[in-house]
């Protein structure tokens, strides 16, 4: 089954990068379904996150959508929390329970966003003027960033699947600006999570060249398309199904399911 890993990773990277994400929840779901050990899943997902988030950051920055005033408070709070989370080694059962919960919550969030459709996105775009006031609320943004950063380090996700809906709900910025903030947020948190793991004495896992190449190609295509619309809802719902299946697999292990 590992022969299909590069293809699956490439598809996940393409889908997630199109909205400024790096794909950690998708990578984790794929690796979990393929039976890879938890000790390998978290660092591998973070490495792939760094690759895809770097590409997405560059693409959205080139397009002029990045907003440093919004990014700053989020990153300042999230990086040390992600480092702390990355340095923590949870017992296998606890790690799988936390990870299963994160995957399930991610699936619910993806389904909600997909069902809301483009009308909701347009509403957020029109409300972006009200979001300018949010850029000055550094304490609130820092609290969001810190919480997501800790979760990122603990589980190996970059946090984008939680950051994007949070900022949309707060009407913090137009959708493309949020995507441009999410990509570097994922990048710095993934690097901090990896650094925390190294600090705790966990070596980096080697990632095969075909998997890296698939992540680069998928990330480049997805982030370049950026606002790609028509197939996204269907693909997101399919990915949500994979996340649900992976979360049930993780959460059901203690029950022998």
- pLDDT tens digit at each of 257 positions of the chain: 467 899 999 988 988 887 778 888 889 888 988 888 877 888 898 899 999 999 888 887 887 878 888 899 999 999 999 999 888 887 877 777 887 787 788 778 777 776 765 444 444 444 444 444 444 577 788 888 999 899 888 888 878 877 877 777 777 777 778 878 888 999 999 999 899 988 888 877 788 899 999 999 998 888 777 544 444 565 566 656 666 766 776 676 555 54
Domain range for 36: 2-255
Helix (H, G, I), strand (E, B) or coil at 51: helix
pLDDT at 129: 45
Q: Measured in whole angstroms, how far is the alpha carbon of residue 133 from the centre of its chain?
A: 26
SS3 of 22-56? CCHHHHHHHHHHCCCCHHHHHHHHHHHHHHHHHHH
pLDDT at 216: 95
Q: Please count the structural domains in the chain.
A: 1
Q: Please state the pTM of the whole predicted model.
A: 0.76
| Ramachandran sector of residue 117 (left: φ over 0; alpha: ψ -120 to 50; beta: rest) | left
């Amino acid at each position: 089954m590992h022969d299909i890993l590069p293809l699956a990773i490439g598809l996940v990277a393409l889908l997630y990068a199109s909205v400024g994400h790096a794909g950690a929840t998708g990578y984790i779901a794929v690796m979990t379904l393929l039976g890879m050990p938890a000790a390998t899943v978290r660092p591998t997902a973070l490495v792939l996150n760094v690759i895809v988030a770097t590409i997405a950051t560059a693409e959205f920055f080139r397009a002029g959508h990045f907003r440093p005033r919004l990014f700053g408070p989020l990153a300042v709070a999230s990086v040390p929390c992600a480092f702390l989370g990355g340095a923590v080694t949870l017992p296998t059962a606890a790690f799988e329970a936390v990870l299963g919960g994160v995957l399930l919550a991610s699936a619910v969030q993806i389904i909600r966003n997909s069902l809301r459709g483009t009308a909701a996105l347009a509403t957020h775009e029109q409300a972006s003027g009200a979001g300018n006031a949010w850029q000055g609320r550094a304490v609130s943004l820092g609290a969001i960033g810190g919480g997501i950063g800790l979760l990122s380090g603990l589980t190996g996700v970059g946090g984008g699947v939680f950051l994007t809906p949070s900022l949309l709900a707060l009407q913090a910025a137009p959708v493309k600006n949020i995507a441009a903030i999410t990509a570097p947020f994922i990048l710095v948190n993934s690097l901090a999570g990896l650094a925390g793991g190294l600090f705790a004495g966990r070596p980096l896992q080697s990632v095969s060249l075909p998997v890296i190449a698939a992540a680069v190609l998928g990330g480049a295509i997805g982030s370049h398309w950026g606002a790609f619309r028509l197939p996204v809802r269907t693909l997101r719902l399919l990915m949500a199904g994979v996340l649900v299946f992976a979360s049930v697999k993780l959460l059901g292990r203690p029950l022998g399911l």
